[in-house]
Structures are given as C-alpha cells and as structure tokens.
A and B are shown apart, each in its own frame.
Chain A
Amino acid sequence: MKSSSDNLIEVRDLRQTFAGQEILRGVNLDIARGKTLVLLGQSGGGKSVFLRHLIGLIRPLSGSIRIDGEEIAHLDERELEPVRRKIGMLFQDGALFDSLTVYENVAFPLRERGERNEKVIRDKVAHALELVSLQGQEGKMPVNLSGGMRKRASLARAIISEPSCILYDEPTAGLDPIVSDTINRLIRRLQSQLHVTSIVVTHDMVSTNHIADHVALLREGRIHFSGALAELHASTDPVIRDFIEGRSREID
C-alpha cells in the first residue's frame, strides 16, 4: 500500500447523478505522482464526467477528491483557482477561444497569471507550439484549423504554464494515426522530462499501450479494474477481454 504522499490525486466514493441517472456510483481511485493513468471505459460511461470532477468543473454529489492532499469537493469557484493553476486540461474538441488567434490562445494562461513581458510570452508560446508541432500557425483563428490542429493548439495552451498534472479528455479521438502518435509521444515526453502526472480518458487501446503506466476501467459507474498495463493484458476477466479486443456481446 502506497503512502498518500505518493498519490497526487485520491478519489473516494465519488458519486454523481444527472437527471435521475446515476453516472458515478462510488468511484475509488488513486493517481500516483508523476505517472500516467489511462481511464478506459465505454462511450457515455462517465469517464469525462469523472475527469471534470478532478478540476472542479463538476461538483460531486458525494465523496471525496483530494488533490495534493487538499480536499476540493466542497471548494467554491474562487477557492478552486489555486488548485486549477496546478492542473492543465485538454478538452475533447479543444475548446480554444474562437475570438483569439492560436498565439493569443496559447499565451492566454501566461497573461492571466500576470506575465507582461512580451518577449517571455513569445518565447514560451513558440516553445509550446514547437512541442506540439504547430510552428507557423500562430496567426490563424481556431475556425481555420483542422480538428487535429485544434487539439494540438489546445494541448499547447494546457502545458504552457507547466502544470504538475494534465487531464486529457479523449486526446486522440478523431485524429489520424500519425497525429495520434505525435500526441502519445508528447504525453510520454511530458512525463519523462517534466514528471507531469497525466490522467488520460480514452477508449483507444493503441494509445493506452503507448502511454499508460497504470490503467483503470470504468464500468457502470464504478472502477471495474485498476492495475498496471501488463496486468490489464494478462487479465482473463471477460469484460476486460472484450474491451481490449473490441468485442461486442450483441448478437448479429
């Protein structure tokens, strides 16, 4: 059993209900500091809802969420701000600000945190865009970017303020295999070089095999499996096997 200081995030008995439907039915999960956790699960299974709880975008119905030892479940919007500064988030569709250029989007967190030196901002934006292979796209508006480019620009915005933890909501969904590989490598690189803790919500097994240190499977609102990637592959649990092998139980 790890000591709690090894875990950046600890979630206990997290419950959530939308319109009378139970989405999370008591999720328990620890996320180790500096590691990459991949949260697997079927579409509509509550993975993104779970992820949003970790940054306070959704308040839990009950349960506990501790980030770096601090309980955040009952914090209000302003109290959450210091916690959110430690965490970056990549949204499923990028969620770039469509009134700002790529440059302004990526520079946004720096400016909001008080950076006024334009040279520092320019250098950091250039570095972040280089990390996601988006050099030369600074002047474009989000509407003029492809889906993959939007996602990469959003990732540059998430990493520019060097958070200790990054939440990825379906980072490779809708991307071609080459761009997906770029994102996967970047997630790996951020972990190895900056020791960033990553939580990746996905149902992409290729991506999972590439980036995961730890894997959890969310099923029917609970964590059905939690363990190392090798344990996932070695499992004989039919639910896990079906998920890994992409097999449906429905009769043709």
Chain B
Amino acid sequence: MKFPYSFPLTRAFALYLGQAALLAGETFASILAGRIRWRLVLNQVVEIGFGSQAVVIITGIFTGAVFTAQIFFQFNALNMATAVGPVVSIALCRELGPVLTGLMVAGRVGAAMSAEIGTMKVTEQIDALRALAVNPVDYLVVPRAVAMMISMPLLVGECIFFALTASYFVATNILNVNSVFYLHHMWSYTHGKDMVMALTKGFVFAIIVVIVGCQQGLTTRNGAVGVGRSTTDAVVISSLSILMINFFLTMALNIIFPAGGARY
C-alpha cells in the first residue's frame, strides 16, 4: 500500500487525522482520570455558552422563519399548509438545528480556540506551561472540551426552540396557517427521539469543533501568519467535518431512532 502515501496530500491528511486522534485520546484520558480544572471549565462555559447565545438565537430565528416560508410556498399549492409544522420541526430537530449550531459555533468558538492557543504557541506560552510542569492538554484542551460538551447540546436545544417559535409566528401570523392545526400536527409528528438525535449530534459536533480548533492551535508555527492560517483551517476543517460526519451520524442514528410515524 505504498501508492496512496506517494501523494503529499494523502500523507498530510493521514498525519492530520493521526494528530487529531491522539489529541482526542489524550483529552478523554485526562477527563476520565479526573484532571479537570472546574474553574477554567466554568470560564469556558461562559465564553462558549453565553457568548454564543446571540449567534445561535439569530441563526435559529431566521432559519426557522425562512424554512417555514419556503415549505409553505411549496405545500400550500398542494393544500398541505398544515403539514408545514411537522416538516419544519423534524428538519430542525434532526438536521438543521444541530448542523447550523455546529457551523456557527465552529466559526465563532473554533476560530477563537485556534487563534488563542496558536498565539500562545508562537509566543512560547505553551512551552512556559510545560516548563512549569503543567500539561497543555490538561490546562487548555480539557476545560474547553468539557465546556463544549456541556454547552453545545444546550445551544442546539436553544437554536431549535427559537427556530420553532419563529416558525410558528411566521406560519400563523404572516402565512395564515391555522395555529391549532399547525401545533397539533407538529406535536403529532415530533418525538422525543428527534430531540435526542439533535442533542447527540450537538455533542458529537462539540468534540469535532474542540479537537480541530485545539489541534490547529497547538500545531501553529510561523508567527502571526501561522496563527491566521490555523484559524482559517480550524473553521474550514471543522465545518466540513461537521457536514460530512453529519451524514454518517444521520444514517447511524436513524437505526437507533428511526424517523417517521404520527403520535396519534
């Protein structure tokens, strides 16, 4: 199997995957060993969770609103306007909520992690941590990982809540869908498993964003130019990874939480 490694890109990709896997392994080993600095976790929850609220809420509101409008325009022609609720709800829970939240958090938090850790790397602050007998993974990655794993599912839930609220408002107040039918149909076709799927995806995307962002930061070189490159790469890699892994997650989670079926 020499052939694939003759391509520099293949080698770089294999190397990158290896580094990311090692970092993930080391991070989870530290978490399981209890090397968690809860004060830093709390700081990161504030930074990641509270700091991302506006972005996630605005994303949720306008995605819910525009998706509702588009579904209504198509379905209304078929006299299926009251089906807008379930379609929007299931799409938001199973796909749009977690994916859009993941992408927004990757842009905001993943970039910040990469830039902050990357700057620490090029200014020898990571070496200073190591010289002071402090493991950089324990000090920098673990608090961010724990904070992300707590915050992301909550942010996904928040995004879905605001998207559904906006959807209800647009459907009933602007597009004149009957509110009772809208809510009844939405409630009938939306299940707890859809929400579990959303939160599970949010949890997985949290791990992707934190590992990619921190890995990019920790491997930053070449000063300010390197920090810029790491930041860009962190956003691009984590966004693409979210989109790709989302497909496989959907297929796998659909086995555990099969879609479809009315409650009544």
* Interface, chain A (partner B; CB < 8 A): 52, 55-57, 77-78, 80-82, 84-85, 87-89, 91-93, 95-99, 108-109, 112-113, 154, 157
Contacts and interface: CB of A to CB of B under 8 A. Distances in A.
A78 B135 contact: yes
Contacts of A57: 127, 130-131
22 contacts: A57-B127, A57-B131, A77-B130, A80-B133, A84-B131, A84-B133, A85-B133, A88-B131, A89-B131, A91-B128, A95-B123, A95-B124, A96-B125, A97-B125, A97-B128, A98-B120, A98-B125, A99-B116, A108-B132, A112-B132, A112-B134, A157-B132
Nearest to A161: B132
Interface of B: 116, 119-120, 123-125, 127-128, 130-135
A112 to B, nearest CB: 5
A87 B124 contact: no
A170 to B, nearest CB: 12
Contact of B125 (A52, A95, A113): A95
A84 B130 contact: yes
Contact of A95 (B128, B133, B134, B135): B128
B190 to A, nearest CB: 43
Contacts of A109: 132
Contacts of B133: 80-82, 84-85, 112-113
A47 to B, nearest CB: 15
A144 to B, nearest CB: 16
Given A96-B128, A112-B132, A154-B128, 15 more contacts: A57-B131, A78-B135, A81-B133, A81-B135, A84-B131, A84-B132, A88-B131, A91-B127, A95-B124, A95-B125, A97-B125, A98-B123, A98-B125, A108-B132, A112-B134
Nearest to A82: B133
Contacts of A52: 127
Nearest to A154: B128
A95 B127 CA distance: 8
Contacts of A87: 131
Contacts of B135: 77-78, 81
Contacts of A78: 135
A96 B127 CA distance: 11
A99 B124 CA distance: 14
Contacts of A112: 132-134
A78 B35 CA distance: 12
Contacts of B124: 91-93, 95
Contact of A55 (B119, B120, B125, B131): B131
A235 to B, nearest CB: 33
A112 B119 CA distance: 22
Contacts of A77: 130, 135
Contacts of A91: 124, 127-128, 131
A81 B133 CA distance: 5
A84 to B, nearest CB: 4
